Amino acid sequence: MSAFRDPFAFTDPKVTAVILAGGQGIRLRPLTDYRAKAAVPFGGMCRLIDFTISNLVNSGIREIFVITQANADSLLRHLGEDLQAYDLSGALLKVVRPRLNERGQGYLGTANAVMQNLSLILKGKPDLVLIFGADHVYTMDVRQMIDWHLERGAQLTVAARPMPVEEAGPFGTVLIDQDWRIRDFAEKSVRPHLLPWRNDRALVSMGNYVFDPSLLGEALEEDSMEIDSCHDFGRNILPEACLVKRVFAYDFRTNVIPGIDGPTDYWRDVGTIESYYRANMELIDPRSHLDFYHPGWPIRSVRRQELPPKVVPGLSGRSGFVENSILGHNTIVSGACVRDSVIGPNVRILSGAVVEKSVLLGDITVGERARIRRAIIDHGNAIGESEQIGFDRDRDAARYHLDASGIVVVPHGIRPSIQDPIVAPGRTPWQREVRIMGAHS
């Protein structure tokens, strides 16, 4: 098997992908109070779901379903209204709106979400079905995982990567034999499965699966009849399947992205405030193995009308200064200082202000002489003149959200019924025209 093949030259087997984007993201609150976890902004330019979509499209996957649920409107706007602005290279992206049963309940778990939409997913009679998560930061040539699945005659393949055992508790871990066949699967266990040849490493599931459709249908049907089931892939489907079916682990470390020197196995689950903050900071670390700017493997996202950022003197003549940072479009640093930070779109940082080691999501004004350190500022906030955030724990905890890691989060600055304001063309971000829209199917 070659390390990399042209994804658009590979047309067989027929593959349908499903992205599970319905998670509540409880540990990522307050960023997920008013938006889906998959719709959380990242890196100053995109949403978390854009990584999964990009990996599938870049791998030549042509049919992609996105299943939504919690706080779905933000994700439906991102994908539904602006889908025409995505560069999908001919792929067809179908967004599935949340469903309620006769009791007014939504999906009962990840497996139940797929089960309720199984006839739609299998309508095109795919040879393989991919089930992928929507909230991880990574690059991956999915076709290499498909090749692995086919070469081993697998019925189910799980993407996995080694992780220090002390960090593996929040994840599903797999027990493999010398052929990488999975013999057991444990979801969020206090005793994670160890690699057979390393007693300090566990093999962690990335939440990405390749299924034979017959196994998928059979497993979901059996699970739907289990009254005590959580109807979850990690807790129910995988542990049962690996006991009686040909289930293999795919070593993500072997995945190769063309044109990138060095390791390409960067993968982060950004399920907590601390991990989300750390992943953003890794974008500006020159040692990071995530290439955000690789032209051969673009991170695709919605492209709206954009103006370049600029760094200019303030009215007082003080020079603007930016060091080791990312600036989003329409952002102005006016006589201010920005260091080691990720700044999203439509941000104005005024004279004398200092922003350090922080993540500003977008549509934010930072007033003169304000100081921000080790903080995450959500959309729609105006930080007052001489305000200080990240310097006094007690004061920060009383006014904002202080994470256990010490990172301060300033929650969404607009009333809860309005999410992520849309700036009308021809207006500055501080002359907002906010549109509240229903979901798009």
58-109 pLDDT per residue, tens: 898 989 998 888 777 788 877 765 455 566 777 788 888 877 666 657 778 8
For all residues of the chain together, what is the average pLDDT?
82
CATH topology match: 7-279 vs 310-410: no
In the structure encoding, which two tokens stand for residue 213, read together? 């459709």
pLDDT (tens digit, 9 = 90+) per residue, 150-171? 999 999 999 999 988 888 778 8
Q: How many Cβ atoms are within 10 Å of 169's Cβ, its own excluded?
A: 15
pLDDT per residue over 233-276, tens digit each?
Answer: 878 888 888 888 999 999 999 998 877 776 777 899 898 999 99
Residue 86: the pLDDT is 62
Residue 97: other Cβ atoms inside 10 A = 14
The pLDDT of residue 155: 92
H/E stretch holding 276 reads: helix 273-283
Read off the tokens for 331.
């952002």
Q: Quick one: CA torsion of 245, 221, 240, 56, rounded to 10 degrees?
A: 70
276-334 tens-digit pLDDT: 999 999 999 887 777 777 777 778 776 666 788 999 998 878 889 999 999 998 899 99
The whole-angstrom separation of Cα 29 and Cα 379 is 14
DSSP H helices, 190-237, are: 213-224
Q: Helix, strand, coil % (nearest 5) of the chain? A: 25, 25, 50
Confidence of residue 5 (pLDDT cuts 50, 70, 90): very low
Contact between 17 and 130 under an 8 Å Cβ cutoff? The reply is: yes
Q: Are 52 and 297 in contact (CB under 8 A)?
A: no
- pLDDT at 326 (0 to 100): 92
Q: What is the mean pLDDT of residues 336-349?
A: 94
Amino acid 371: pLDDT: 96
Q: Parse the chain into domains and list their residue ranges.
A: 7-279, 310-410
Rounded to whole angstroms, the Cα distance separating 207 from 233 reads 9
Provide the whole-model pTM. Answer: 0.85
Beta strands 128-133 and 198-211, pairing class: antiparallel
The pLDDT of residue 11 is: 47
Q: Please state which of the four CATH numbers 3.90.550.10, 3.30.379.10, 2.40.50.140, 3.40.50.2300 is assigned to the domain occupying 7-279.
A: 3.90.550.10
- 47, two tokens: 């949403």
Query: 22-71 pLDDT, tens per residue?
Result: 777 788 889 988 888 888 999 888 899 999 999 999 898 989 998 888 77
Q: Which fold has domain 310-410?
A: UDP N-Acetylglucosamine Acyltransferase; domain 1 (2.160.10)
Distance, in Å, from the CA atom of 138 to the CA atom of 51, rounded to the nearest integer, reads: 7
* Strand, helix or coil for residue 52: helix
Mean pLDDT lowest among 92-101, 339-348, 402-411:
92-101
Largest CA distance in the chain: 73
